[in-house]
Every structure is written in C-alpha cells, then in structure tokens.
Structure 1
Amino acid sequence: MQIDWAAIGQGLGFIGLAGGAALAMIKGHRKSDGTPPPDRPPAPNEVKETLTELRRMLEGLIQKTERHRELTDDDLSDIKKQLDRIEAAQRLQDAVAGIRREFGGLPK
C-alpha cells in the first residue's frame, strides 16, 4: 500500500485553512471594548454633552472674572482713598512748613 502524500498535504492544508477561517470569524464576532474607531466623527449626543460642559465651564469662568473685577474695583477704590489721604497729609505738612518759615516756628 502506498501513502498518498499529496492527499494528506491537501487534507492538512484544508484543515489549517478551515481552522484559521473559524478563528478569524470568532475573533471578528467578539464584542469590541466600546471605543469608537478613531476616524469616526462624534455622535450628536456626544457633541451636545461636550458643548453643555463647555458652556458650564465658561459660565463658571465668567462668574470668577466678574468677582475678580469687583474685588479689583474695591482695591482700586481703597488705593485712591489712601492716595487722597497721603496728598492731604502732604499739603498739610507743606502748609505747616510754610507757617514755620513765615513766622519762625509755631508756639508750643
């Protein structure tokens, strides 16, 4: 009896090919991890959620900016008051120095 090596090779090749196709089919039918493909544009609900989040963050930033502006205005007002007091004190000191020069000093 003679062994038909060609038929055995064809049989093994067919079994390998069928097994590879079965593995590829099984792998293709598995569920993915849920991440969309990188070239897919975002879904409309994802865009809406992102825009809503951006609007919320922008509103928070605007509120912080407004509060900062209010604090800055208060600080500037306080600085202007202090400058006015310093200028008034300087004018008073200049007046006292002028009186001392004119009259030779102030009585005690």
Structure 2
Amino acid sequence: MWGVSPILHFFNHQQERAIDDPRKGAEYVATYECTLDAFLQSVEPVPPSRGWELDEVVDTVIHYWMNNAEGIQHWKECLDRAGNDNLLVARLADVKALKAEFDALLG
C-alpha cells in the first residue's frame, strides 16, 4: 500500500501507533524521494524492531519495485505534484502481521 502524506500527518500517525501498540499490524515507512534506494534506507530500522529478517524485507521491497513500475511511476508523479512538505508512504507487513491487523479490525 502506497500513498502521499503531509509530513506532519505522517509524524502524528507514527506517534499514535507508538502509543497504541508498536508491535501491532503493519509498519509504515516514508521517504521524500520515490527511489528504490530511498525506500531501502527507510526500511533498514524496521526488521530489528519487528523481529523480521532484514534480507527478506529488502528482497520483498526490491521484488515489488521491479514488478510494479507503472504503480511506482504513478506515486512518483503524485509525490512530485504534492510538493516538498509531503512524503511517500508505504506499508510493510508480513502475512501474520496483516492477518492480525485484519482480525483486530473485524474483531
């Protein structure tokens, strides 16, 4: 899942998640640039805090990037149009984390 968000909104969202339950569900990462290198840098701190394997996360991001060029281009254009006070946001999760998040929503 991708999207463009104002910096302050993303920061507030991350703060709320940290207070609620930082281990729950997916992890959200953001970058000022729509490049593979920028996203790889944004995911580096995620695996240790989640107990995920960094190599698997990096492989997943690269695989997604290489197989979704049209979608990547769309979000690059959205970020460019949004201006400098915005970030490109992506959601990362393993299957178990997504299932737990959906189960919690459907309760």
Q: TM-score normalized by structure 2?
A: 0.19
Q: Whose Rg is larger? A: 1
Higher relative contact order (CA 8 A, sep 6+): 2
Query: Which is helix-richer, 1 or 2?
Result: 1
Q: TM-score normalized by structure 1?
A: 0.19
Query: Which is strand-richer, 1 or 2?
Result: 2
